[in-house]
Each structure stands twice: as structure tokens, then as C-alpha cells.
Chain A
């Protein structure tokens, strides 16, 4: 693996057997991907294109059928951690215990884990909500906790699976700006999955466009917008140009009314 790379995926394929029909389906087809350390990379694509599946392969939740994924071993902390979609916080744990969970999984005693979670709670602005249960927090706050939970284990790469998809439009915008602030403070490599084109452009250094299933990388677009980015940048002509280009690529992949487009 080349130096300076945080992740290198080669020829990743994922095939699975549909439990209901017994059909063999190809979810991900020959994906190559290099991510430079510290980069923010997004994958966008139509629903059901296999982008979440790819992320789960990187995370080790599914084995790839073929191909290799190398992640640079972490000097400290862990190689990767996942920020899940909405409501993945354990409802029976308080916020602090949820955030400390990754450390507890590594065998850190609960008390010490809570103490080590504290700076992350501050980083995601949840100070004062440690003893609350998830149901007592708004969706945006729950996703901050979700982010802190992944950051607590100090991952080399942060994997994010449509973390803002369930939020309302305004909260989503605010959370995107928050994520950029946290990303610049925590200086992590990020692999972000979304179906929102503007979210991908706003956040990323690179946007990868994935085809409809089986998912292949159609285009790798470098986003050359200055940082730090303010939310107003979404109305700039450069931004809109990127959005049009990506939308053009995705729209060739959409087959309206097809079962693929309907499945998530």
C-alpha cells in the first residue's frame, strides 16, 4: 500500500443471494478506491446502488466476495469506526454511555471510558446532556452523539452512512456545517455515503459517483472549493456547476418505476 494513503480498495466485488428469490445478485462491482490521509471523500449514487454495502464491507460487517481493502493500521486508536444512520444509539444507554461504548468494547473500564468520552461530548456540543437518554434528544443531537461515539475510539478513518438522511432540511444544513468544523478539529479521513448531491459537494474534497446496481464508480470528481466553507457557498456558481455535473451522471442511472430505484 502506498504511503500517505489511508485506504486502498482494489477490485472489490460483492455478490449475495437474495433470501426471498434465491437469485444471485451483484451489489458492488469492481470498485477501486484510494483515499489520501486526511481527505474527505463522499460516494453518491441512486438508492440501492450498493454504496452502503460498500461501506459495510470497509467496516468489516460484510466480507467482500472478491478484492482487497487495505486500511492503514492506526498508530493509536482503531483503524475505522462507523457513524450509522439515524437512531442507532442504544435507547437503554444514557448519552455518555453510548458515546463511551466503543471504548467499553475495547475492554476499557466503564468509568474510565466515560472520562475519556468527555472531550468528545464537548466537541460535539452535547455538554450537559450526558445523563439524558436518546429519546430525550432531538434527531440532530442524537446524530451528534452518534458522531462522538465513533470519534471516541480515535479511528484512522471515519465511515459515515447517510448520517443526516433522517433529519429535516434545516437541521441537516446545520449539521453539515458542524461536521466540517468537527472534521477540521479532529483531522480525520472520512468516507461519507449520501444520496444528497449538495451534501456531498459541500463536505468533500472528492465526490465519487456510483452507478445503479451493480455499483461501480462512474466518476471521481475533485471538488476545488476553498475551505473553510460557509453554507452560502452552496449558492455559488462553481458549486451549482458541480451539482449539475453530478446530477447529470446520476440521472443516466435512474430508471424510474424500476424496482432497483425503489429499493433502498
Chain B
């Protein structure tokens, strides 16, 4: 009776040679896939088979990037995009999580909010963009922040609410049986079992918020990385445009990785399967 069962597999170093190859196979094949396409792209572009003005080329993107970061305008664009994203997304978390928790807890509040949540959730929110621009103005970040916020808010509030609603009865019975106060029941049972749902919402929200930033910038054309992409394409500077696209990709990757860390921090209690780890 003294063996603890853990589902963590052995560290790669302790496995046999086959295990090591299997561990790295994925990485090795993935890297070669990327490199082959990049090399073909570069060769095609240099041979003149691919029009650099539209398609750019890998080395050109790097060059364009180096040139770009030395301009003042770039930093203005970057700051604009980052702050629109940051403010909109944080607002969505700050309002989405508490409202989701409250709506999950109080049935009547949920009934009152349901029509609006369904309406906005089924609406392609980009369609609201022109309206938001009229409401909040073309210049300045307000309209763009509103788009980002609307993108992320519903992705966060709905799963949070569902998480509270699906709290396991067994655990609530345990809490009630030990005479836990309403507050403690919420803190010790409802919130921890809702965390996985909240994290799912945060992850969905990041993607939606990024889409919001790009679309709003392309539409309003005031400042931001989206504007950089548009300007570059109008001048047929494929390399520069793709550098802008690359920046958005990188922010998406950073965002997802940040969420993964939050998840690891809050979900130590969940068994990890090797499938999830990969």
C-alpha cells in the first residue's frame, strides 16, 4: 500500500535508443518540412519563377524586418497594435470571467443574459466593425479596442458560465455535508472546477482578439501592423507585408504559450497524458 501511481512518463534521457528517436522524430521531421519549403521558396524566387513583389522570399522577409525595425513609424505601429490587443483582451477577461461566474451561479441572471449572449455569439462580429467605427470614431484606438473586446469577451464569458453550471454535484454534496458556507463552496468547489473552462475561453479569446486587431486596422487604416501590411502590399513590397504577417503569427504563438503556462500553473492536479504533452 505504498506505491503512488503517477502517469508521468519517464524522462527521455532514461529511455532506450528507440525511445530517443521517437521523441525527436516529430521535431526532426517537422523542422525538415519547414526548411524544405523555405528553400524551395527562396530558389523559386531567385530563379524568377515566383514574383517577389507578391510572394516575397524568406531572406527578403528577414531583410525587410531588419530595415523596418529601424524606422520610427514601425514602433508606432507596433505600439498601437499591442496596446489595442492588450487593452481589449484584458477588458474581455476582466469583465468576461466575473460575469460568466455570476451568470453561472445565478440562474435568473443567466436567463436575462442568454438572449444577448446568443445574439452576439452567433453574429459575425466583424460585421459590426463599420458601426463601431461610427460609434467610437475612426481615429484613435477606441473603435479597434471595441472590436478586440467583442471578439474575445463572448469566447470567455460563455465557457465560464457553462463551467459553473456543470460543477459536479458530488463535490457540492461533499461541501454541503461539511457545512461549508456559500462563499467557501464557491471558492473551494465551483471556481477550481471552472478553471479548465476559463482557460479554454482564454485560448479561444486570443485567436478572436487577434482577428479583431488585424481586421480593425485593415479597415480603419490609421496605424498598426495591419496598416503596415496594407501599405506594403499597395507598394508591391511582398517581403515587408509578410514581415507584418509574421509579427501577428508570433504574437499568436506567444499568446498561446502564455496561456499554456497559466494552465500548467493552475492545473497541477490534473493527470497529464503523454498525448496532451506532445
Contact = CB atoms under 8 A, between A and B. Distances in A.
A141 interface: yes
Contacts of A78: 179
B173 A92 contact: no
A78 to B, nearest CB: 8
A156 to B, nearest CB: 14
Contacts of B268: 133
Chain A CB within 10 A, most for which of B1, B7, B174, B270: B174
A137 B5 contact: yes
Contacts of A135: 7, 269-271
A105 B175 contact: yes
A222 interface: no
B1 A91 contact: no
Interface of A: 59-61, 78, 81-82, 84, 87-88, 90-93, 101-102, 104-106, 125, 128-129, 132-138, 140-141, 153, 174
A128 B1 CA distance: 12
A45 to B, nearest CB: 21
Contacts of B189: 90
B4 interface: yes
Given A88-B171, A132-B4, A138-B3, A59 B269 contact: no
Contacts of B171: 88, 90
Contact of B177 (A61, A141, A174): A61
B71 interface: no
29 contacts: A60-B177, A61-B173, A81-B177, A81-B178, A84-B173, A84-B174, A87-B170, A88-B171, A88-B173, A90-B171, A90-B174, A90-B188, A90-B189, A90-B192, A91-B269, A92-B192, A92-B193, A92-B269, A102-B178, A135-B7, A135-B269, A136-B4, A136-B5, A136-B271, A137-B5, A138-B1, A138-B5, A141-B1, A153-B178
Contacts of B170: 84, 87-88
B6 interface: yes
A129 B192 contact: no
B117 to A, nearest CB: 26
A87 B1 CA distance: 18
Interface size class of B (residues with CB under 8 A): 20 to 34
Chain A CB within 10 A, most for which of B171, B192, B268: B171
B176 interface: yes
Contacts of B184: 104-105
Interface string B176-203: 1111110010001100110100000000
Given A92-B193, A101-B178, A129 B4 contact: yes
Interface in B239-278: 268-271
Contact of A93 (B2, B180, B181, B269): B269
Nearest to A133: B269
Contacts of A82: 174, 177
Given A84-B174, A135-B271, 8 more contacts: A61-B176, A84-B177, A87-B170, A92-B192, A92-B195, A93-B188, A135-B7, A141-B1
Nearest to B174: A88
A137 B4 contact: yes
A101 B189 CA distance: 11
Contacts of A104: 184, 188
Interface in B124-178: 170-171, 173-178
A86 to B, nearest CB: 10
Chain A CB within 10 A, most for which of B3, B178, B192, B195: B178
A61 B178 CA distance: 10
B187 to A, nearest CB: 10
A125 B173 contact: no
Chain B CB within 10 A, most for which of A59, A133, A140: A133
Contacts of A81: 177-178
A94 to B, nearest CB: 8
Chain A CB within 10 A, most for which of B5, B269, B270: B269
